[in-house]
Amino acid sequence: MTELGNLTAVQLIDRYRKGESSPVEATRAALDRIATTEPAVNAFVRVDAEAALAQAEESAVRWRRGEPLGLLDGVPVSVKDILLQRGGPTFRGSKAISAEGDWNEDAPSVARLREHGAVFLGKTTTPEFGWKGVTDSPVSGVTGNPYDPARTAGGSSGGGAAAVALGAGPVALGTDGGGSVRIPGSFCGVFALKPTYGRVPLYPASAFGTLAHVGPMTRDAADAALVMDVISGPDTRDWSGLGPVDVTFQSGLAEGVRGLRIAYSPSLGGQVAVRPTVAAAVRRAVEKLASLGAYVEEADPDFTDPVEAFHTLWFSGAARVTEHFSKEQRAELDPGLREICARGARYSALDYLAAVDVRMELGRKMGQFHSTYDLLVTPTMPITAFEAGAEVPKGSGHRRWTGWTPFTYPFNLTQQPAATVPCGVDEAGLPIGVQLVAARHADALVLRAAHALYESGAADIPAPELVTPAGG
């Protein structure tokens, strides 16, 4: 049964339809993977096996009747412990959040999964309030990488990416305010999409404002398209959410990349030092896109690193989260979070508005850039996974996580859709990701190009040893 953990959501649905497998078998396989790998990786805050199996039994009955509830009926999924999921507390990685309360509301994306019959395995780990690009917190401790648990899974949606890589459900919901699905997607060797801001509704609103996106982490782009067809509908609780899409995300997947105009920026105009093995793997992925018929040109978007503007917005948001905390609550915060909250509290309204000006100018430049190019391709990360439990790589000289994530946070500022696709491994067998970025609202184009890479075999990488027969 454990081989079911290697299947995509699309493959599981096909097997359910044909009667070759049942949601109960798939859920047991996912739970088995969790039981086997969780001691080493620590991807989950909470697992509710009894509830998951009950949901799977209900799904199996529907499939036997030929009456599936929706597009994901019986598919095991996990949810980042930032998003509300009724039936249990959402701690957001913080001891300041009390377990007391009703906890009877789903976030919009979680509600859509439930309406379509998904089976909820549990809540996945996050750093405190999702504040950094690695996953460790006062609540859950450190989350390791499926390829080497002594390395970081990335963050802030590290638990979800690790779960997908380990076969603990083919779908994980995450959030991305500065790279938080793409960073762990790259480090863990899975697909991750940050949709256009507002395409997936979010409630409650993030303290990080319009930087924060909700997106899927999946085994491939086809699964992400399927999930997007479920979670991308409007929700009245999100005043900034977008209206419905005209066609399904799945419908255009097979159109390929022939004729697309692609800009390949290996280092954002020399601003980023990229590890040679990463650069080589990304270049091979770009060459594959060219061989599939895309017009590829090496070209850089015309912007300087907007990190200070991002810091102003990000640190201010963090300060807002903790504004009403008591002295005792603050004492229990992640020390790094406590530090950026103090800095964020010192910014003035004029500082904040100056950062907004930088953001708007960056958005204008990227809009102009995409009038020439359909896609921008970069490395997702300039490095591969480093030691777990650290915010920055040892000896890097970086002070904050933004120092090693220069390819991701600019596109939260601009609200563009961006995805990471596995494109190889380094000398230590650690995954490498290539990032695909499109103009706002062109989410389907990102998925289509990513799907082409998967179909061509360019995204094939070895599975983590933790899920091979030798590793259980």
Question: Which structure tokens are listed for 47?
Answer: 């697992």
Q: What percent of the chain has pLDDT over 70?
A: 99
Mean predicted confidence (pLDDT) in 346-362:
98
Spatial neighbors of 188 by CB under 8 A, at least 6 apart, are 145, 146, 147, 153, 154, 158, 161, 162, 164, 165, 385, 431
Peptide bond into 204 cis (omega under 30): yes
Pick from 199, 135, 138, 139: nearest CA to 163: 135
Q: Is the pLDDT of residue 45 over 50?
A: yes
Across the strands, what pairs with 80?
124
Pick from 452, 449, 405, 428: nearest CA to 185: 405
pLDDT confidence bin for 471, thresholds 50/70/90: very low
Instruction: Examine the residue annotation and report whether 180 is marked as an active-site residue of this protein.
Output: yes
Cα–Cα dist 158/179, whole Å: 11
Question: Of 156, 157, 186, 265, which residue is the catalytic one?
Answer: 156
Question: Which structure tokens are listed for 51?
Answer: 């509830």
User: Which tens digit of pLDDT belongs to each residue from 366-400?
Assistant: 999 999 999 999 999 999 999 999 999 999 999 99
Cα–Cα dist 117/199, whole Å: 21
The answer to whether residues 170 and 12 touch, using CB atoms and an 8 Å cutoff, is yes
Domains assigned to the chain: 2-471 (3.90.1300.10)
Mean predicted confidence (pLDDT) in 41-52:
98
User: Which tens digit of pLDDT belongs to each residue from 1-28?
Assistant: 558 999 999 999 999 999 999 999 999 9
The pLDDT value given to residue 472: 42
Instruction: Examine the residue annotation and report whether 137 is marked as an active-site residue of this protein.
Output: no
User: Which tens digit of pLDDT belongs to each residue from 94-151?
Assistant: 999 999 988 999 999 999 999 999 999 999 999 999 999 999 999 999 999 999 999 9
Cα–Cα dist 242/52, whole Å: 31
* Secondary structure (3-state) at 252: coil
Instruction: Examine the residue annotation and report whether 396 is marked as an active-site residue of this protein.
Output: no
CB atoms within 10 A of CB 265: 23
Spatial neighbors of 14 by CB under 8 A, at least 6 apart, are none
The answer to whether residues 237 and 270 touch, using CB atoms and an 8 Å cutoff, is no
pLDDT confidence bin for 450, thresholds 50/70/90: very high
* pTM for this prediction: 0.98
Mean predicted confidence (pLDDT) in 185-208:
97
The pLDDT value given to residue 177: 98
The pLDDT value given to residue 467: 81
The pLDDT value given to residue 469: 58
The pLDDT value given to residue 101: 85
The pLDDT value given to residue 72: 98
Across the strands, what pairs with 123?
46, 79
User: Which tens digit of pLDDT belongs to each residue from 253-292?
Assistant: 999 999 999 999 999 999 999 999 999 999 999 999 999 9
Question: Of 21, 180, 265, 316, which residue is the catalytic one?
Answer: 180
pLDDT confidence bin for 470, thresholds 50/70/90: very low
The 3-state DSSP composition of the chain as helix, strand, coil percent (nearest 5) reads 40, 15, 45
Pick from 76, 79, 72: nearest CA to 5: 76
Across the strands, what pairs with 296?
262
Helix axes 276-291, 443-456, angle to 10 degrees: 100
DSSP 376-442: EEEES-SS---BTT-SS-TTS--SSGGGG-TTTTHHHHTT--EEEEEEEE-TTS-EEEEEEEE-TT-
Question: Of 21, 78, 80, 316, which residue is the catalytic one?
Answer: 80
The pLDDT value given to residue 468: 66
